[in-house]
Amino acid sequence: MPRVTFEIVTYVLTPRRGVKPSLNESHVLKALLTLYHKGPMGRQFLSRVLSVGEASARTLIRRLKELELVEVTQAGGAYLTRKGMDVVEKFLEAVIPPKQIDTSCFNYLKLSKEACFAILKGKCRDKVNVLKIRDSLIRYGANAALVMCVRRNKIILLSPGNKGVDENTIEELRLFKEKIHVTLNDNDLILVSFANSFSECESSLYRFLTYSDC
């Protein structure tokens, strides 16, 4: 991920006077994306979107403002500055952010109650460390995870040895491609996180995207 993304998240989450904000990586990245797509917005609305208290939303906005990523008006609330928009646009050049996917019609690809996916554009050009990615997502809160790659317009479910099976072997991969409603390109890396709740699977992906060097 762009180095600046990591630096922003680290700045916002750094404890001050021994007190760590009641926020995580997911809140920071999701706030930036929400303001980019739907801003300006007030603190109350942002707190509901992020499922955090108003005090945490206030802290988040204040620290993003210190980084000159956000400005605030009394009438309209918080909005991204040009610098903030540049950061988000750079992030979106590399990533399709986490989205929920309905797995109710899946059998083989349903590993927990809820599922989310994110796409790292062009990251399958080199060898993919499948075990490292899966372990990281689980460490960040997922119950299970799958790693997929797009090759010749087909989704390949990767194994730890970077071998894998495609849609001809697992029919559900074709259904997965239809249900995510995203344009895929060759060498896109698809990460699927499974958890008991949407917030947990989404958060695990955002946290992975913050620290990933894959």
pLDDT higher at 162 or 212: 212
Average pLDDT of the segment spanning 50-68:
96
Is residue 2 over pLDDT 70?
A: no
Answer yes or no: pTM beyond 0.85. Answer: yes
β strands within 57-208, DSSP E = 70-73, 77-80, 95-101, 114-120, 144-151, 154-158, 164-165, 189-195
**Sequence-ordered strand ranges (E) for the chain:** 70-73, 77-80, 95-101, 114-120, 144-151, 154-158, 164-165, 189-195
- Largest distance between two CA atoms of the chain: 57
- Looking at residues 170-181, what average pLDDT do you find? 93
Radius of gyration over alpha carbons of the chain, in Å? 18
Question: What is the per-residue pLDDT for 75?
Answer: 81
